Amino acid sequence: MLKKLFTAILFLALSSQISFSQNCTSCFTITPDSIQSSVYNLDASCSTPSNGFFNYAWYVDNQYYTTWFFPQIQIPFYNYGTHTISLVLLGQNCSDTSTQTITINPTCNAQFISYGVGAGAYYFYQNNPSSNTANYSWDFGDGTTQTGSSVGYHIYTSSGTYNACLTLTDTSAGGCADTVCQSVLVNINYPCIASLSQYVDNFTGFLSADGYSSQFNNQNYGFKFYLNGVLQQQGTSPTFYTQLTSTGTYSLSMVLTDSNGNNACDSTTQIVSYTGGVNNGGCTPCFNSSYFNAAYDSIMVDANCSNIPLGGSIAWNVNGVNLSNNASVQFLGFPTYGTQLIALFVKDSTGAICDSNYSFVYTYSPPCTSCLTVSQVAGSTSDYYFDGSCSSTATTGSVYSWFVNNNFITSTTNPQFIYSFTQSGTYNVCLQIADAFGGACTQTCTTVTVNTPTVTLYDISGTIYKFDNTFAYTSPGNNEAKVYLIKLMTGGQLEAIDSTTTNAFGQYTFNNKPIDDYRIKVALNTNSPDYAYNIPTYFQTGMMWYDAQVVTLFGNTYNKDIYMNYGTNSGGNGFISGNVFAGANKQRSNVDVTLILMDVTTNKPVAYSKTGANGYYSFANIPNGTYKVYGELLNRASIPENITIGAQNTFTGKNFIYNSNVIQPTNIALSVKDVVLDDKLNIVPNPATENFNLRNKNHPTTIKIFDLVGRQIATFDLKANEEKNIDCSQWTKGIYLIEEIVGSKKSTQRLLVK
C-alpha cells in the first residue's frame, strides 16, 4: 500500500512540474509464455519514439502493478476470466496510456493419485485443482461413482484390478473438460504380519522396540508388548521403551490386535540380551524386516542396528540356506510363498558365532511368473540373447533384472537383452521380474556353456584414506602408501599378484586384470608422517586376511576406496620387541611381516610394526594394560602373544615363528607340522562346494581337519586304499587344513570350500 501511495505521489509531482507535449505513444503486445501457461509476456518495444528514455508503469484490472525501466515484463494470472491491462508510458516531457483486455480460460487436468489405507479402502486425490468452479466426477470401476469433490473415497468389497477414472469439467470462461483413468490393484484381505525391531543400550540398559514395519489394518489396530511374558504396554502406539534393571536374557514379544485389544492376528518374539558395560566388542544381532513392494512377496532386511565385535562379521540364513551375500541390507525374494524364516548370525573375529536372532515373515504369491531362454547370437561366439518374453507378467511396464553367476548385470524394460561373455565357461543366468506395481515375480534360472576366445581385461582403482595427526581422514601423497592386489590361487593359496603405490592424490590403479575374485590391502610406507598410527587395512576395514572383503571383478571397471584403520597409542613406558622366525630351524624371516598390537580391554588396535631385514620388530611407549600381539601373513592362521604392561614394563624376546599354516609365539609349539609324505592323500574336488572325497594311498592313515584358527573340525582313520565322502555343505566358506598322519610323519594340504 505504501508502494502504491509513493508511486501516486511521485506521478502527481511529476505531472505538476512538467509540461507534457504529447510526442510519445504507448504501445504493447501480449503473448502467452511457452513454458508457464499462467504467465503472459508483455512487450512495450512498439512504443514511440523507440529510442526514448521511459518509465513503464503497468496496471492490472485498474490496480497498480509495478514500474519498470525496461519494455519487457512477465505477469502471472491466477484467476480465470477477462482482465484489463494498462501501460502508462512516462518519458521526458511526455506521457501516454494504452489499454488492452485478455481472457484467461481454465485448463482442466484430471491427473490423480490413489492411496490404499487397508481392507479395500482407497483415497483418490486430484493433483492440481483447476479452479473453485470445477466439477469432479469419480468412477471407481466397480459400478460406484461419486461427484462434487476433488478427493474421492471408496471401499472395495472384493479383491481385483479396477479401472478408476476422474472426469473434470469447468464451464466458466469458455470451459474445459478432461478424463483420466488408472488401474487400481485392490487386496481386501489386508495382511496382518507382526514385525519387530529392538535395540538395547548395553551401557544404560535402555531398551527400545518398534513395530512400524508390521503390516496391519490401519483403520482398526492395536499393539501389545510383553517382557518375559508380562504385559508391559498396549494401545495404538507401535513403539515401546523400558529400562532393564539387571543384566541377562529377556523375551520380548509383540502382538498385533484390533483397536480394543481383544482379537490377536499375529505375534513375534525376540530374545533381548543385556550384557552391561559399553557396546564396544559386544555381540548383539539385530535386524528390521519390511515388505519391499505392494505385492508383499519380497522382504527387505536391515541389520545395521546390530552390534558386531571388532573384526567380526554377520551371516544370513533364509529357510535353512546360508546366503552367499552377507551385506547388512538384503532384498529377499522367495521361490514359494508362505511363512519364511530369516535368521541373522553375528560372528567374532575368529569366525565363531557369538549370538543369533531370527524372525518369521509371511509372503504372498507373486503376481507373475518369470520364464527365460538363452540362445547364441548368429555369427558370434560371445554374444547371447537373454529372452524373458515367455514370462507371464501381470501388467505392462514390468522391469527385467538380469543376473549372471549371482552377479547383477542390468535392468531393462524390454524382455530381450544381448549379453557378451568375456571368457569361456559354464554360467548360471537368472531373471527376476518386477511388475508395474513393484511386485516381484518368481525368479527363473538356466545354464549356458560358452566357448569364446575373447578375454576382456578391466581396471581396479580407488583412493586411499588415512588418518592424519588430527585423526581426520586425508589422502596419502605420492608413494606414501603401498597397495597389494591379492588372489586366491588354485588349491586355496593366497598370493599377492601385484602391488603399486599411491599417486599425488592418494589414488591407486591395477590395470588390465581378468575377471576374478580379489582382496586388496594397503599399508603406509615407513617414510609416511602418519605411519605410526595407521594400521595396514584390507578392503573393507579388515586387519587380517581372513577378515578381508572380497572384491569381485565381473565385467566392469571398479572403483574401490579404502579407509584405513587407526590405533591410538596414548603413550606410556611399556616396550615390547622380538623377532619373527621362518620354521623350526629359527631362520630369521626376510619376509615383510606385520605385527598388530591389540588392547584387550577395548578390543581395538593400538599400533603396528613391520619386521626389518633381520625379522626384528618392536612396540614402544605403550601405556599400562593388557595386550595381544598378532602376526599377520597371507594364508596363515594367527595365534597371539598375551602381554600385560604393569609392574614389568619391558618385554624383549617375544618371538614369533611361522610355517605354511600358522604364525604364532615361539613359546607355543607349532600346531601343524609340514612333514612331507611320499604318497599324499587325494582330495577331489578342490575347491569343494557340497562335499568332497578323500582317497587314501597304500597305508593306514589318521585324518584331522582344522579350520584356520586351529579348531579341529573332524578326525577319523582311513584304511589303505579307502575312499571317504565328506559333507561340507554346512561348513563356513573358506580354507581348511587336512592333516594326514602316518606313524611319526605328518603332511598337510589345503582345502577350499566355496
Q: How far apart are CA 688 and CA 78, in angstroms?
A: 73
Mean pLDDT is lowest, of 111-120, 608-617, 730-739, for 111-120
The SS3 assignment for 124 reads strand
Decide if pLDDT at 661 tops 80: no
Q: How far apart are CA 611 and CA 591, in angstroms?
A: 8
Mean pLDDT is lowest, of 84-88, 314-318, 558-562, for 558-562
Decide if pLDDT at 329 tops 60: yes
Task: Band the pLDDT of 12: cuts 50, 70, 90.
Answer: very low
Max mean pLDDT among 13-27, 198-212, 462-476 falls in 462-476
Q: Are 252 and 277 in contact (CB under 8 A)?
A: no
Structure confidence by residue, pLDDT tens digits, 409-435: 777 778 888 888 877 788 889 887 776
Strand partners, 98: 87
647 located within any domain: yes
Mean pLDDT of 244-254: 85
Decide if pLDDT at 21 tops 60: no
628 located within any domain: yes
Looking at the fold, whether 551 and 474 belong to one and the same domain comes out as: yes
Q: How far apart are CA 459 and CA 343, in angstroms?
A: 37
Looking at the fold, whether 508 and 592 belong to one and the same domain comes out as: no
Q: Are 575 and 650 in contact (CB under 8 A)?
A: yes
Q: Which three cell numbers stand for residue 173?
A: 470462461
Decide if pLDDT at 279 tops 60: no
672 located within any domain: no
Q: Which three cell numbers stand for residue 11?
A: 506521478
Decide if pLDDT at 255 tops 50: yes
pLDDT score recorded for residue 388: 86
Phi, psi of 143, rounded to the nearest 5 degrees: 90, 0
Q: Are 328 and 286 in contact (CB under 8 A)?
A: no
Structure confidence by residue, pLDDT tens digits, 521-554: 999 888 888 887 888 988 877 788 777 777 877 6
Strand order in the sheet with 151-155: 112-118, 121-126, 151-155
Mean pLDDT of 564-586: 81
Looking at the fold, whether 144 and 227 belong to one and the same domain comes out as: no
Mean pLDDT of 258-263: 73
Q: Which three cell numbers stand for residue 290?
A: 519390511
Q: Number of helices (H) and strands (E) in the chain: give both, helices first.
A: 1, 65
**CATH number reported for the structural domain that contains residue 584 in this entry:** 2.60.40.10
pLDDT score recorded for residue 104: 78
HSE, CB side, 13 Å, CA atoms: give it for residue 323.
22
Boundary of a domain, candidates 164, 186, 208: 186
653 located within any domain: yes
Looking at the fold, whether 8 and 77 belong to one and the same domain comes out as: yes
pLDDT score recorded for residue 487: 83
Q: Would the CA dihedral through 12, 18, 22, 28 be positive or negative? A: negative
Q: Would the CA dihedral through 379, 385, 390, 395 be positive or negative? A: negative
pLDDT score recorded for residue 117: 57
Mean pLDDT of 582-595: 72
The SS3 assignment for 631 reads strand
Looking at the fold, whether 626 and 715 belong to one and the same domain comes out as: no
Looking at the fold, whether 690 and 592 belong to one and the same domain comes out as: no
Mean pLDDT of the chain, nearest integer? 78
Looking at the fold, whether 144 and 56 belong to one and the same domain comes out as: no
Closest Cα partner for 657 from 611, 619, 620, 598?
611
Contact partners, residue 11, CB within 8 Å, separation at least 6: 57, 90
Decide if pLDDT at 379 tops 70: yes
HSE, CB side, 13 Å, CA atoms: give it for residue 134.
26
Task: Band the pLDDT of 363: cuts 50, 70, 90.
Answer: confident
Boundary of a domain, candidates 104, 124, 141: 104
675 located within any domain: no
Looking at the fold, whether 28 and 59 belong to one and the same domain comes out as: yes
Strands 562-563 and 458-467: parallel
Q: Are 581 and 587 in contact (CB under 8 A)?
A: yes
The SS3 assignment for 120 reads coil
Please state, for a pLDDT cut of 70, what percent of the chain lies above it: 82
Q: CB-based burial of residue 660 (10 Å sphere; 0-12 exposed, 13-18 middle, 19+ buried)? A: middle
677 located within any domain: no
Integer angstrom CA distances of residue 63 from 4, 5, 47, 57, 71: 9, 12, 22, 11, 19
Q: Which residue has the higher pLDDT, 734 or 56?
A: 56
Boundary of a domain, candidates 635, 665, 695: 665
pLDDT score recorded for residue 455: 61
Decide if pLDDT at 407 tops 90: no
Please state, for a pLDDT cut of 90, what percent of the chain lies above it: 9
Q: Which three cell numbers stand for residue 44?
A: 512495450
Instruction: Supply the Cα-derived Rg of the chain in whole angstroms.
Output: 37
pLDDT score recorded for residue 226: 93
HSE, CB side, 13 Å, CA atoms: give it for residue 468.
7
Is the pTM for the entire model greater than 0.85?
no
Q: What is the helix, strand, coil percentage profile of the chain, to 5?
A: 5, 55, 45
| Full domain range(s) for residue 228 | 191-279
Looking at the fold, whether 234 and 264 belong to one and the same domain comes out as: yes
Q: Which residue has the cell 587336512?
A: 738
Task: Band the pLDDT of 436: cuts 50, 70, 90.
Answer: low
Structure confidence by residue, pLDDT tens digits, 494-519: 788 888 999 988 899 888 787 777 88
Q: Are 715 and 703 in contact (CB under 8 A)?
A: yes
670 located within any domain: no
Structure confidence by residue, pLDDT tens digits, 604-637: 888 888 887 678 888 888 999 999 998 888 877 7
Q: CB-based burial of residue 300 (10 Å sphere; 0-12 exposed, 13-18 middle, 19+ buried)? A: middle
Total domain count, the chain: 8
Strands 72-76 and 39-43: antiparallel
Decide if pLDDT at 313 tops 80: yes
Q: How many CB atoms lie within 10 A of CB 686?
A: 17
Looking at the fold, whether 220 and 199 belong to one and the same domain comes out as: yes
pLDDT score recorded for residue 29: 92
Q: How far apart are CA 170 and CA 178, in angstroms?
A: 9
Strand partners, 227: 230, 252
Task: Band the pLDDT of 676: cuts 50, 70, 90.
Answer: very low
Q: How far apart are CA 740 and CA 676, in angstroms?
A: 10
Strands 151-155 and 145-147: unpaired
671 located within any domain: no
pLDDT score recorded for residue 9: 35
Q: CB-based burial of residue 733 (10 Å sphere; 0-12 exposed, 13-18 middle, 19+ buried)? A: middle
Looking at the fold, whether 274 and 291 belong to one and the same domain comes out as: no
Which DSSP string do the residues of 445-469 spell out, in sequence order?
EEEEEE-------EEEEEEEEEE-T
Task: Band the pLDDT of 278: cuts 50, 70, 90.
Answer: very low
Q: How far apart are CA 203 and CA 148, in angstroms?
A: 59
Checking 556-559 for CB contacts under 8 A at 24+ apart, the result is 556/458, 557/458, 557/459, 557/460, 557/461, 558/458, 558/459, 558/460, 558/461, 558/462, 559/461, 559/462
Q: Which residue has the cell 595365534?
A: 639
Looking at the fold, whether 411 and 492 belong to one and the same domain comes out as: no
Q: How many CB atoms lie within 10 A of CB 33?
A: 13
